[in-house]
Structure 1
Amino acid sequence: MVSLLSLVSTGLLCVGLGRAVPTVKSTRGVAPVDNAVLGTFTLMEQYASAAYCKSNYNSPGDQIRCNDGTCPLVQASNATSVIEYNSNLSTDVTGYVALDSTHKLIVVSFRGSVSIQNWITNLDFDAVSTSLCSGCTVHHGFWQSWLDSRSAVTAAVKQLSASNPTYKIVTTGHSLGGAIATLAAADLRNAGYQVAFYSFGAPRVSSSKLAKYITAQPGGNYRVTHWNDPVPNIPPIFLDFAHVSPEYYINRPNGLAVTASDFKIYEGVMNLRGNAAWLITDILAHLWYFGTFPIKCAL
């Protein structure tokens, strides 16, 4: 269920009259999406979806499951959580770290917005300094969410990577969870880990300087957006908020199956193409990624 606060916030921030003229996709320096990449995106989206399920953030040590059927690939992999966290701090940052022996993955997943505390975090736009890079600023609410979970996540990643040195480390999340996953990946990279992040419908997280810094880090940045989802357009660019590049834009309306050819790739931290080209937006496009509605699993 979408909270009233989320609808009101989206309505205030997403207004307009129509869609801008579409542009030709750019793949400069970025490999196009093929069926293998699409399969990885789908698996990562399902790990992000699983973070909404209560059984995956209040019972560490069990199998990652979704009671609404939104993560069949995750369940088939028999991934188990190592830690699960549901913060009692002001940000209510929530998620899990899991070990997937089928795909040889260490997965750090963050839940999107469910609680009032999460929405207060989203609206905490103040730019604050961060230790990620010199002179870089970041969205205060998103950064504080990562700080609230960093100690537990970092300890789990250290333990799991030492025991499973060939496993790939990934962070993932939808909406607010995608913003935190971005910062988690950047910080873990600075600590010496090779990390890929996958975000779905994430808002802008930082200044252009930090966005460029994260873009240049090795590991892999996969920022996925969908159709006219309003959330990736906040906070606004005029407040010096930017996205990590590139954008993997799903050029497909709600309710339709996604194929590899439906992706357009756009580069640049101030990119105004793809999802940002829309003026009229739809909150349902934010809840629909690869045909699922992750927030259902919180019920």
Structure 2
Amino acid sequence: MVVDGRLLDVTSVPASTLAGYAPYTQFARAAYCDTNKVATWSCGGACDAVGGFEVSLTGGDGNGIQLYFVGYWPQENAVVVSHQGTDPTQFLSVLTDINILLDPLDSNLFPGVPSNVLVHSGFMNAQATTAVPILEEVRRLMSAHGTNKVVTTGHSLGGAISMLDAMYFKLNIPGANIISRTYGLPRVGNPEFASYFDGLGIDFVRINNEKDVIPIVPGRGLGFRHASGEIHILGPGRAVSCSGQDNEVDAECQISSVPDIFSGSILDHLGPYEGISTGTIFCN
């Protein structure tokens, strides 16, 4: 079906594809865990699930700056960057605030991006806080291991920062193969942002869980739109891939499943994402 010039369609996601997302989910989960344990990759179930990962940089305080880590994933010969999310109940109030601002990106960090590409000011500021040291470490690891593959991942607010990271790396590391996997991602920018991001050639997937309310905010009426790449988990072992930006046509995609914040569930924001739940309470 064509809506506003966009071809919208859904397809079932094979179980093997869903299973393949598990390591990325574990990286997003690990970002919530104690920094000292993440630094030694001994954070419990999340770290155990991706054995051999080598952390080289950690940061953040879990308050003003979301926790994050950077490291090398030998199994995939990839550099990985992951950011912590936040308390979903507080995050929802921020994302539904009518005073949400859309601002242009910093041209020093995002060279060449048109001025009509606008993003959520809070997400932009959060990403900018850690952008430079993370980029330096990513470049160092890429050189040290002879790889051009970079993975960004995160849940909730961490997903928003990771999406902007993916764009940042694509613009600042020519030739890099950027893979981005987000979970419970809120809308990050305006329609021009969504289209610009889609055109960058990033391997991007945003995974939504059942009735999670966070992916439908900030509202489209406030000028926001999701980029393409939605996978909507309908239940254990069942998910659909929804084409287009903010597929509002098919009943199995997020917007139709959760038409407003009163129809959603904040608990679904925590997962499980194919058996893996995210958040500080799931670190062990």
Q: Match of 1:52?
A: 32
Q: What is the number of residues matched between the two proteins?
A: 258
Query: For 1:265, which of 216, 241, 250 is the aligned residue?
Result: 241
* Letter paired with 1:128: D
- Partner secondary structure for residue 21 of structure 2: helix
Q: What amino acid does structure 1 have at the position aligned with 2:242?
A: Y
Secondary structure, counterpart of 1:213 in structure 2:
helix
Please say if residues 96 and 108 of structure 1, whose CA atoms lie closer than 8 Å, have aligned partners that are also in contact: yes
Taking structure 1 as reference, are residues 182 and 174 closer, same or farther at Cα in structure 2, changes over 3 Å only?
same
1:112 and 2:117 aligned: no
Q: Which of the numbers 53, 78, 82 marks the counterpart of 1:79?
A: 53
Aligned mates of 1:36, 1:189 — CA distance in 2: 28
Report if aligned partners of 2:23, 2:49 keep a CA contact under 8 Å in 1: yes
Q: 1:112 to 1:59 in 2, by over 3 A?
A: same
Measured after TM superposition, the shift of residue 84 of structure 1 is 0.4
Kindly indicate whether the alpha-carbon contact (under 8 Å) linking 1:80 and 1:98 is maintained by their aligned counterparts in 2: yes
CA distance in 2, matches of 1:215, 1:294: 27
2:254 maps to amino acid:
N
Alignment of 1:139-288 (within 5 A): 139-166=120-147, 168-191=149-172, 192=174, 193-252=176-235, 257-258=236-237, 262-272=238-248, 273=250, 274-277=253-256, 278-279=258-259, 280-288=263-271
Counterpart in the other structure of 2:4: none
Q: Which runs of 5+ in 2 are unaligned?
A: 1-7
Amino acid at match of 1:127: L
| CA distance in 2 between partners of 1:216 and 1:168 (Å) | 19
* CA distance 1:298–1:92, change in 2 (3 Å): farther
Seen in structure 2, the aligned counterparts of structure 1 residues 298 and 70 have a Cα distance that, compared at 3 Å, is closer
Q: Which moved more, 1:169-178 or 1:125-134?
A: 125-134
Instruction: State the AA in 2 paired with 1:276.
Output: I
Query: Which residue pairs with 1:26 in the alignment?
Result: 10
Relative distance call for 1:78 and 1:188 in structure 2 (3 A) is same
Which residue of the partner structure matches residue 16 of structure 1?
Answer: none
Segment drifting more, 235-244 vs 114-123: 114-123
Cα distance, 1:119 vs structure 2: 7.7
Give the counterpart letter for 1:100 in structure 2. W
TM-score, normalization by structure 2: 0.82
Name the one with the larger strand percent.
2
- Once the two structures are superposed, the pairs formed by residues 116-127 of structure 1 within 5 Å of their partners are 125-127=100-102
Equivalent pair of 2:57/2:71 in contact (CA under 8 Å): yes
Is this contact kept in 2: 1:58–1:85, CA < 8 A?
no
Matching residue of 1:292: 276
The reply on whether 1:101 has 2:74 as its aligned counterpart is yes
Change (3 A) 1:42 1:263: same
* 1:37 positional shift: 2.8
* Structure 1 position 105, deviation (Å): 2.0
SS in 1 for 2:153: strand
In structure 1, stretches of 5+ residues that fail to align are 1-23
User: Residue 118 and residue 163 in structure 1: after superposition, are their counterparts in 2 closer, same or farther (change >3 A)?
Assistant: farther
The answer as to whether partners of 1:143 and 1:180 remain within 8 angstroms in 2 is yes
When residues 62 and 164 of structure 1 are mapped into structure 2, their CA distance, relative to the original with a 3 A threshold, is same
Query: How far did residue 40 of structure 1 move?
Result: 2.9
Q: Match of 1:109, as an amino acid?
A: S
Greater CA drift, 192-201 or 42-51: 192-201
